[in-house]
């Protein structure tokens, strides 16, 4: 099946070349032979439709070439109805692959530096000495220097592996070698030679050992024998302890296993071209990304195809500055220089808590989240709890009305109690779920922005004052203030993700972490089962029986009677929880795949200082 699919795709590429007036790869004869082979092939219906559609364009082109013109006016150039995806040799595909290599190289540098710093804390630094030796010998081979460096002795002052700056340079040089295929071969060769011979034997080692053994057999007094041995040792330079070789060889084997793990995710040149739905404002429609996905930690943009975008809650704008590009990410502005070497064509933008690293290749830029994923997804989880609280429909959406009243009080100093009375809940109950969720999230985001510029006491006073004006009890005001405070300042601690296709959500409301793959994931709570799977556009769809499918980007709250299903996502890290309006009777969680989690939201104390009000439009 895969064999025929690849041949059909190859035929499409060749026909696209012919339609554009280019000679197909392999020549016209190869195109004809491939067509004859496919016309008699046992293709499945979908592949057969693709083949016949492409063949129709080929036959129309062939007829137009041999048809004699009957009009004195030149015929208009036919626009092909089918467009082939970007090939691997197209500028767009080459820019895509270069961006992927630069991003992988940056991650590789970070990983190797962390390993080098860890090995530098070992007493004898054996692994770090091996890393230094391999890096040095691989670079010497690149400069055609035949003299090979042995593994330095412990505490060698000429190496200075106790210096953090030296360790950083060694790690960076080792990562640079792994960026190219030639460098990887040289690294593997140097590592093999180091394992074979960590350091050379002393030329007189055997002679000295024989003389020392003979001296031990002499019939002398102990003092005289010790003087003889000392005199013999003084005649020869001190040889390195041969017992060090096994430890070095074991460190070399460990480095080889580590190197294999690091190179697993290395991007390689392929003939597949650019993936579909991968580039915003792409030149080829097949590669185009309709809208940025806030749940993914990477975004590739064809800068020449547009001027602005919105990603991860921030506005993106850019403009050309000569051959370079000026990029604005929220309030931060950077210059992306295209004339620098690949290793230097990246820059970090954004605040310290949500940094974005930008890589540039010509008119293409790759934006990648540079912060800690556990903190980012933890903040989304805290925010999801606040949104779920506002979507609770009890007492005519009391929490949502209270949040709007607090917003009015903080912003204007007054509250329209009539417009926020129980009757106003009718429009919330009749609103489409996606509209209500978007409204609640906008309100929470605005409240968080205000609370960041305020103090806990001022925020609590505003929420309690709003509760009094609406006739709501103080316990509700306390609960809303606590959840908003946590969403503003405290990322929820989450367990590390584990690959599962079926997970039972705890009745206690704690989050479970799942590592997303290509297979669908089913989340179960009680009698309900929600399935997450990729749709035809490559987006993650949340499907719950009886409800319309919703797209999960970075945060989604699915509301069902008596329950809120909270879903947050960062890249392949998914966290999910079930929050009941009224907690069910406590029962042992026998089917859960994880243990209990510490630090639930109910255990948070309001102890952080805040500095800012919030805002939300009615």
pLDDT tens profile 66-103: 544 433 333 444 444 444 445 556 888 889 989 999 98
Q: How confident is the model at residue 32 (pLDDT cuts 50, 70, 90)?
A: confident
Query: Which stretch of 144-153, 194-203, 497-506 has the lowest confidence by average pLDDT?
Result: 194-203
Q: How confident is the model at residue 403 (pLDDT cuts 50, 70, 90)?
A: very high
**Which pLDDT tens digit goes with each residue over 97-125?**
899 999 889 889 988 998 999 998 888 89
**pLDDT band at 270, cuts 50/70/90?**
low
Q: How many CB atoms lie within 10 A of CB 5?
A: 14
Highest-confidence segment of 36-40, 212-216, 440-444: 440-444
Question: What pLDDT, on the 0 to 100 scale, is given for residue 522?
Answer: 94
Model confidence pLDDT, tens digit, residues 553-569: 889 999 988 899 999 99
**CB 416 within 8 Å of CB 406:** no
Q: How far is CA 501 from CA 405, 511, 530, 551, in A?
A: 42, 16, 12, 18
**Confidence band of 458 (pLDDT split at 50, 70, 90):** confident
Q: In the predicted model, is pLDDT for residue 453 greater than 90? A: no
Mean pLDDT, residues 327-356: 82
Which is more confident, 269 or 439? 439
Contacts of residue 70, Cβ cutoff 8 Å, sequence gap at least 6: none
pLDDT at res. 429: 87
Beta-strand runs (E) in 155-305: 279-280, 298-302
Cβ atoms within 10 Å of 239's Cβ, excluding its own: 15
- The 8-class DSSP code of residue 565 comes to E
Q: What is the DSSP secondary structure assignment for residue 165, as one 8-state letter? A: H
- Please report the pLDDT score of residue 399 as a whole number: 92
pLDDT at residue 221 greater than cutoff 70: yes
Task: Give per-residue pLDDT as tens, 41-68.
Answer: 777 777 777 888 887 887 777 666 554 4
Backbone dihedral angles phi then psi of residue 144, each to the nearest 5 degrees? 60, 35
Task: Look at residue 591 in the predicted model and tell me its pLDDT.
Answer: 42
pLDDT of 366 strictly over 90? yes
Chain centroid offset of residue 375 CA: 14
pLDDT above 80 for 256: yes
Q: Which of 108-122, 191-205, 514-528 has the lowest mean pLDDT?
A: 191-205
Residue 375 has what pLDDT? Answer: 80
Report how far residue 434's alpha carbon sits from residue 542's, in angstroms, rounded to the nearest whole number.
12
575 pLDDT band (50/70/90 cuts)? very high
């Amino acid at each position: 099946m895969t064999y025929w699919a690849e041949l059909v795709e190859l035929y499409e590429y060749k026909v696209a070349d012919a339609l554009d007036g280019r000679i197909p790869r392999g020549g016209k004869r190869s195109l004809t032979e491939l067509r004859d082979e496919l016309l008699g092939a046992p293709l499945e219906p979908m592949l057969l439709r693709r083949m016949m559609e492409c063949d129709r364009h080929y036959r129309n082109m062939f007829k137009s070439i041999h048809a004699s013109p009957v009009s004195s006016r030149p015929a208009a150039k036919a626009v092909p109805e089918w467009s082939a995806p970007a090939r691997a040799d197209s500028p767009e595909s080459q820019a895509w692959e270069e961006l992927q290599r630069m991003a992988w190289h940056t991650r590789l540098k970070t990983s190797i530096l962390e390993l080098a710093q860890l090995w530098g804390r070992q007493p004898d630094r054996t692994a770090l000495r091996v890393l230094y030796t391999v890096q040095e010998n691989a670079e010497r081979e690149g400069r055609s220097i035949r003299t090979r460096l042995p593994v330095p002795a412990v505490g060698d002052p000429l190496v200075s592996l106790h210096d953090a700056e030296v360790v950083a340079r060694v790690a960076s040089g080792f990562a640079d070698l792994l960026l190219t295929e030639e460098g990887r071969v040289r690294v593997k060769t140097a590592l093999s030679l180091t394992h074979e011979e960590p350091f050379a034997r002393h030329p007189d080692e055997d002679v000295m050992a024989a003389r020392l053994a003979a001296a031990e057999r002499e019939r002398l007094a102990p003092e005289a024998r010790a003087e003889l041995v000392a005199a013999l040792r003084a005649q020869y330079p001190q040889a390195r302890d041969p017992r060090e070789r096994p430890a070095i060889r074991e460190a070399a084997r460990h480095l080889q296993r580590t190197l294999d793990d690091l190179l697993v995710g290395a991007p390689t040149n392929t003939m597949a071209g650019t993936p579909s739905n991968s580039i915003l404002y792409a030149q080829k429609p097949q590669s185009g990304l309709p809208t940025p996905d806030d749940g993914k930690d990477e975004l590739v943009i064809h800068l020449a195809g547009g001027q602005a975008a919105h990603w991860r809650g921030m506005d993106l704008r850019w403009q050309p500055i000569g051959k370079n590009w000026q990029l604005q990410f929220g309030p931060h502005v950077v210059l992306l220089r295209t004339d620098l070497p690949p290793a230097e064509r990246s820059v970090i933008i954004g605040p310290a808590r949500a940094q974005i690293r930008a890589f540039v290749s010509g008119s293409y830029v790759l934006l990648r989240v540079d912060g800690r994923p556990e903190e980012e997804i933890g903040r989304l989880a805290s925010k999801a709890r606040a949104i779920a609280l506002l979507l609770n429909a009890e007492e005519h959406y009391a929490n949502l009305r209270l949040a709007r009243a607090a917003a009015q009080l903080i912003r204007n100093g007054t509250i329209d109690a009539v417009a926020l009375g129980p009757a106003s809940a009718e429009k919330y109950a009749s609103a489409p779920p996606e509209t209500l969720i978007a409204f609640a999230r906008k309100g929470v985001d605005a409240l968080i922005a205000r609370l960041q510029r305020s103090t806990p006491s001022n925020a609590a006073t505003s929420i309690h004052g709003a509760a009094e004006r609406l006739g709501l009890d103080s316990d509700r005001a306390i609960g809303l203030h606590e959840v908003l405070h946590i969403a503003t300042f405290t990322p929820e601690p989450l367990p590390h993700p584990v690959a599962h296709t079926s997970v039972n959500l705890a009745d206690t409301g704690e989050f479970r972490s799942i590592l997303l793959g290509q297979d669908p994931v089913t989340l179960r709570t009680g009698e309900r089962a929600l399935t997450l799977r990729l749709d035809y556009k490559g987006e993650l769809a949340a499907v719950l029986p009886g409800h319309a499918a919703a797209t999960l980007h970075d945060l989604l709250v699915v509301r069902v009677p008596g329950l809120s299903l909270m879903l947050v996502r960062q890249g392949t890290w998914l966290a999910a929880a079930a929050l009941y309006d009224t907690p069910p009777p406590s029962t042992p969680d026998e089917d859960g795949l994880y243990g209990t989690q510490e630090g639930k939201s109910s255990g948070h104390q309001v102890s952080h200082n805040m500095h800012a009000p919030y805002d939300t439009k009615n």
